[in-house]
Amino acid sequence: MAKTKTSYFCQSCGYESAKWLGKCPSCNQWNTFVEEIIEKPNAAVPNWKASTTASTSMQRSNKPVLVSDVVFEEENRLLTPDKEFNRVLGGGIVAGSLVLIGGEPGIGKSTLMLQLAMNMPGLKVLYISGEESEMQIKMRAERLAPNAGKSGGGCYILTETSTQNIFKQIEQLQPDLVVVDSIQTLHSAHIESTPGSVSQVRECTAELLRFAKETSTPVFLIGHITKDGMIAGPKILEHMVDTVLQFEGDRHHVYRILRAIKNRFGSASELGIYEMLGEGLREVSNPSEILLSQRDEPLSGITISATLEGLRPMLIETQALVSTSAYGTPQRSATGFDTKRMNMLLAVLEKRCGFRLGTKDVFLNITGGIRIEDPAIDLGLAAAIVSSHEDIPVPFKTCFAAELGLSGEIRAVNRIEQRIAEAQKLGFEQIFISKYNMPTGGKAKKLDLSRYTIEIKPVGRIEEAFGLLFG
């Protein structure tokens, strides 16, 4: 009888060691190594190439081929009824793709995937759950889609955790789409360790990856996250899949954000916004309306900036509060914005404009619970800080779209036409941009100002912008 093999795995990054270590040499975390039993029997992994679900056109050749000899065919993406989901995936679901979705407990991952599974017309979708019973899923289905819950639609439910039994049912059903909830609950007979361990997660994902690629069947995996916000399991899990989606938001608020962290088939900077209702998730087609608060009168410290998330332009509300520090060291706090960049903006305002902010507490907030990394909101944030410091409201219906340099210059930003069009669509009367975005002749792309009714104010220095704003 073969000797049982054991190894030690880091539960944080998946590093494997032959002996126990106090500190992981890969991620430098302490006391993360756990012993796991590894024993591989002679049972072979199912050969999906010989299965009826795979055609000869899907089989890949193992011989080396020149890049020029590869025949490229336009991929046919599977479009879902959810436009936000299609945008985040890069235009729809790619055949044979493996997608991982992570998020906080109770944020709505299972609701999102069950809602997707029940709204795919003409397709057989297999929803595999290792966390809930069939009755629990039926109760959620009745709440999400009462009509589809009664008729059943094309959604099949399987409550199973063994990958061997799952593949047997998949071979009989031959679904067009597979959803696994969640990958941490599955276990393979090829590994003798507990479900959720590093080796089990890696082995189960590898089996599902082989099935997805050899049958061209899309597979969605729901993954748990750690207390640090990282997807649980080994880091190799994120490298194995094609797309990693993060479902974010506060459970005490109604809005949820679906963000692409990794995407082999599209942009990794796309964003989808949902509203959590009693009957499920509703896609928000115009996020600018929910990110802007309704105000009856002008308030100091509030500005509107035009930003981009992927291909989508959005207007966000930036808030600043500047007050006299009650302690020796002033406080610096930013919500939804990089604190280091906020300190840079404060240094520019003090050095180039003469505002004494060294003894002031400064608080910044990006409304809506989203995080912005676009430098085009620099001018809007600087205007909000000065507005709060001087207690002078920024003129109503004013928008900003420019980056602020260390010398106080207003730098140009990309895709300025989309930002101006979004501000005009929402009824803003003027927008401050960099004068370097304006047509200057030569080979630069000319900005057609005739098609805009909004007043465009180009500025080159921050002092010039503040002179127009506050006089």
- Nearest C-alpha neighbor of 369 from the set 439, 291, 423: 291
Q: What is the DSSP string of 342-361?
A: HHHHHHHHHHHS----TTEE
Three-state DSSP state, 44: coil
d(CA 59, CA 103): 34
380 is annotated as contributing to ligand binding? no
Decide if 288 contacts 317 (C-beta within 8 A). no
Q: What is the DSSP string of 221-270?
A: EEE-B-TTSSBSS-THHHHHSSEEEEEE--TTSSEEEEEEEEETTS-SS-
Q: What is the DSSP string of 420-464?
A: HHHHHHTT-SEEEEEGGGS--STTSPP---TT--SEEEEESBHHH
92 is annotated as contributing to ligand binding? no
103 is annotated as contributing to ligand binding? yes
Token pair listed for 135: 């009755």
130 is annotated as contributing to ligand binding? no
C-alpha torsion angle, residues 431, 437, 441, 444 (rounded to 10): -140
- DSSP-assigned letter for residue 30: B
Report cis status (omega within 30 of 0) of the bond before 133: no
Residue 151, C-beta contacts closer than 8 angstroms, at least 6 positions apart: none
467 is annotated as contributing to ligand binding? no
Decide if 363 contacts 331 (C-beta within 8 A). yes
463 is annotated as contributing to ligand binding? no
106 is annotated as contributing to ligand binding? yes
Decide if 432 contacts 395 (C-beta within 8 A). no
Backbone angles phi, psi at 387, to 5 degrees: -60, -40
d(CA 132, CA 143): 16
110 is annotated as contributing to ligand binding? yes
The one-letter code for the residue type at 116 is L
d(CA 118, CA 281): 13
- Nearest C-alpha neighbor of 217 from the set 413, 55, 333, 385: 55
Binding residues for ATP: 103-110
Binding residues: 103-110
